């Protein structure tokens, strides 16, 4: 909806309409509270929360007594703002937690729709969207205020599950996304998530809330998204099998070739060589193959006996009953592996300093970044080059090292926000302006003069000056023997 000059949106509100909580619960950067709790909110925000809470209906004229909500910053719901991406991550994890399968029967505790999320942005909305007139009739009088000259009234522009737009005003009704949803008596968001995360296979699930994102956490979140789709009320068994297969394939990140055999090996490696586990994987993927290539399947149940003729096979429990449990166990194993791998810093150890110096050069050449942002982007990389400078690396070349430190020197000279000592500044200019010869002697000579300066440490270790000095020290450590050899050879000649 168009916002005219001088108008502004209010703070947005995110609501789990069908999940209640008895006490506040922190999920990532958001704190969800009961709609009964408006403590510490401004008068305007508190009024918006009460209006939104009054719009939440289960069916007919049955209003939901309380729901879980979080206050958001002012948002434009038509833009892909970071806040919305973080909120989508939260909903994915909450839906995943509540879909925990029954330990015996295997069906999910809640379906995806129970974790539906509605976002309300207070702003003017079109009267034609909230009070359409064609082929409808009002069963009760309404109190919508008269529209302005643009046919707008005070209300809320919203998004249901990040996909479906809606427009409401005070006393509107927002119903579930499916015809019927049952509310659970004992459900309590704060208590339930605490209990769920105590399970050994879910101990590392909170890693998904914490930045920065890694390849593992992003892959797991994508897999959870597909798993949640498999738990939608609107999905039949065929759709569930396809979505669950995609979730498992995404989670395990296997190549396309011989996918079934590789998934058998991967699941067995993660969960152990459990008798008949490989048999379930094979049967599940036979069913998935039937659906992908023939459009239907008769293989909906697990057969503990290996009979070639499906009619002669003993059918036991649903393939999906096992599939949900196996998927959640695999998620726990993958997150645990990612956690211990991250703690061991394998990703850093498997990268060479040659690659790091090339990354520094590329970052300084990126004109889309402000100078300060370029230094911030290389800070960790510079620290890693220092940490791993004693690791044997025969393929490390002088050119990218020299290129990195000269780019840093030149960028620091252009950084007006970082005042420089005159002597240090002169040494930087000499380094930045040195014309590199074939053996780099002139640049190495300027670098040596820079690192020989006796200066106190920079007050801010994350400042561009401190980063440049650390980078110069690392390159000097790598090249000082070569520099003195060149110097001696030039003196002799």
Collect all residues with Cβ–Cβ distance below 8 Å to 85 and sequence separation of at least 6. Answer: none
The Cα–Cα gap between 472 and 478 comes to: 10
Structural domain contains residue 73: yes
- Residue 369 confidence (pLDDT) above 70: yes
The predicted structure's pLDDT at residue 446: 92
Structural domain contains residue 160: yes
Residue 89 — pLDDT band, cuts 50, 70, 90? very high
Shared domain for 258 and 217, answered yes or no, is: yes
Residue range 86-91: mean pLDDT, rounded = 95
Shared domain for 92 and 162, answered yes or no, is: yes
Residue 69 — pLDDT band, cuts 50, 70, 90? very high
| Largest pairwise CA distance in the chain | 103
Shared domain for 358 and 302, answered yes or no, is: no
- Residue 214 confidence (pLDDT) above 90: no
b/e map of 169-203 (b: 16 or more CB within 10 Å)? Answer: bbebebebbeeebeeeeebbbbebbeebeeeebbe
- Residue 1 confidence (pLDDT) above 80: no
Structural domain contains residue 7: no
Nearest to 18 by CA among 153, 162, 216, 181: 181
Structural domain contains residue 387: yes
The Cα–Cα gap between 466 and 452 comes to: 15
Structural domain contains residue 186: yes
Shared domain for 186 and 221, answered yes or no, is: no
Shared domain for 85 and 186, answered yes or no, is: yes
The predicted structure's pLDDT at residue 456: 75
Instruction: Please identify, among 343, 361, 395, the residue that sits at the C-terminal boundary of a domain.
Output: 343
The predicted structure's pLDDT at residue 76: 92
Shared domain for 208 and 314, answered yes or no, is: yes
* pTM for the model: 0.84
Q: Which structural domain range is residue 275 located in? A: 199-343
Shared domain for 355 and 320, answered yes or no, is: no
The predicted structure's pLDDT at residue 201: 84
Place of tokens 């643009």: 150
DSSP string, 81-118: -HHHHHHHHHHHHHHHHHTPBPTTT--BSS-GGGG--E
CB 67 within 8 A of CB 200: no
Structural domain contains residue 1: no
Lowest mean pLDDT among 43-52, 339-348, 359-368: 339-348
Dig out the tokens for 18 from the structure. 């069908």
Shared domain for 273 and 313, answered yes or no, is: yes
> Which of 64-68, 211-215, 304-308, 485-489 is the most confident on average?
64-68
Nearest to 448 by CA among 423, 400, 419, 481: 481
The predicted structure's pLDDT at residue 418: 66
- Residue 173 confidence (pLDDT) above 90: yes
Residue range 313-338: mean pLDDT, rounded = 90
Shared domain for 170 and 265, answered yes or no, is: no
Instruction: Please identify, among 343, 364, 387, the residue that sits at the C-terminal boundary of a domain.
Output: 343
Q: Which is more confident, 306 or 369?
A: 369
The Cα–Cα gap between 319 and 468 comes to: 59
- Residue 368 confidence (pLDDT) above 90: yes
Residue range 315-328: mean pLDDT, rounded = 90
The predicted structure's pLDDT at residue 144: 85
pLDDT per residue as tens digits for the range 109-158:
999 999 999 999 999 999 999 999 899 988 888 888 889 888 999 999 99
Dig out the tokens for 271 from the structure. 């969960």
Per the prediction, the chain carries an average pLDDT of: 90
Shared domain for 283 and 410, answered yes or no, is: no
| Residues 225/231/236/238 CA torsion (nearest 10 deg) | 50
Instruction: Please identify, among 195, 216, 239, the residue that sits at the C-terminal boundary of a domain.
Output: 195
The Cα–Cα gap between 116 and 77 comes to: 17
Structural domain contains residue 71: yes
pLDDT per residue as tens digits for the range 235-272:
899 999 999 999 999 999 877 766 677 888 889 889 98
Structural domain contains residue 142: yes
Place of tokens 């619960």: 25
Nearest to 406 by CA among 369, 453, 452, 442: 442
Shared domain for 250 and 381, answered yes or no, is: no
| Residue 391 dihedral angles phi and psi, to the nearest 5° | -75, 135
CB 177 within 8 A of CB 140: no
CB 405 within 8 A of CB 444: no
Q: How many structural domains does the chain have?
A: 3
- Residue 462 confidence (pLDDT) above 80: yes
What percentage of the chain reaches a pLDDT higher than 90?
Answer: 62
- Residue 461 confidence (pLDDT) above 90: no
Shared domain for 32 and 175, answered yes or no, is: yes
The predicted structure's pLDDT at residue 129: 93
- Residue 402 confidence (pLDDT) above 60: yes
């Amino acid at each position: 909806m168009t916002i005219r000059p001088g108008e502004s949106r209010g703070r947005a509100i995110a609501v789990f309409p069908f999940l209640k909580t008895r006490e506040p619960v922190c999920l990532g950067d958001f704190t969800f509270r009961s709609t009964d709790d408006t403590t510490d909110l401004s008068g305007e925000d508190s009024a918006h929360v009460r209006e939104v809470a009054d719009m939440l209906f289960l069916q007919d004229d049955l209003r939901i007594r309380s729901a879980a909500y979080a206050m958001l910053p002012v948002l434009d719901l038509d833009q892909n703002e970071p806040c919305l991406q973080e909120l989508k991550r939260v909903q994915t994890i909450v839906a995943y937690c509540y879909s925990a399968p029954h330990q015996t029967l295997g069906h999910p505790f809640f379906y995806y729709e129970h974790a539906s999320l509605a976002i309300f942005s207070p702003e003017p909305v079109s009267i034609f969207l909230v009070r359409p007139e064609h082929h409808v009739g009002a069963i009760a009088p309404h109190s919508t205020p008269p529209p302005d000259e643009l046919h707008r009234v005070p209300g809320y522009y919203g998004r249901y599950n990040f996909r479906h737009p809606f427009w409401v005003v005070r006393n509107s009704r927002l119903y579930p996304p499916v015809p019927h949803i049952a509310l659970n008596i004992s459900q309590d968001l704060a208590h339930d998530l605490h209990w769920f995360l105590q399970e050994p296979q879910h101990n590392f699930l909170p890693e998904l809330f914490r930045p920065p994102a890694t390849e593992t956490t992003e892959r797991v979140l994508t897999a959870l998204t597909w798993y949640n789709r498999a738990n939608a009320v609107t999905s039949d068994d065929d759709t569930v099998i396809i979505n669950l297969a995609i979730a498992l394939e995404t989670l395990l990140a296997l190549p396309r070739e011989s996918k079934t055999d590789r998934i058998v090996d991967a699941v067995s490696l993660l969960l152990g060589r459990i008798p008949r586990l490989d048999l379930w994987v094979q049967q599940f993927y036979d069913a998935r193959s039937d659906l992908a290539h023939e459009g239907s399947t008769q293989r909906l149940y697990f057969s503990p006996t290996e009979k070639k003729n499906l009619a002669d096979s003993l059918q036991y429990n649903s393939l999906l009953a096992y599939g949900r449990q196996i998927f959640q166990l695999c998620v726990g194993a993958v997150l645990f592996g990612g956690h211990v791998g991250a703690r061991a810093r394998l990703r850093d150890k498997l990268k060479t300093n040659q690659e790091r110096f090339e990354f520094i050069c590329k970052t300084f050449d990126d004109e889309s970044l402000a100078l300060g942002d370029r230094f911030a982007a290389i800070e960790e990389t510079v620290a890693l080059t220092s940490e791993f400078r004693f690791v044997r690396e025969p393929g490390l070349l002088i050119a990218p090292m020299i290129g990195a430190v000269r780019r840093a020197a030149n960028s620091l000279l252009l950084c007006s926000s970082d005042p420089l000592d005159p002597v240090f500044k002169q040494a930087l200019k000499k380094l930045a302006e040195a014309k590199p010869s074939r053996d780099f002697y002139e640049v190495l000579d300027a670098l040596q003069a820079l690192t020989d300066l006796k200066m106190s440490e920079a007050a801010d270790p994350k400042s561009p000056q401190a980063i440049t000095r650390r980078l110069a020290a690392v390159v000097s450590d790598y090249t000082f023997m070569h520099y003195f050899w060149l110097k001696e050879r030039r003196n002799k000649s």
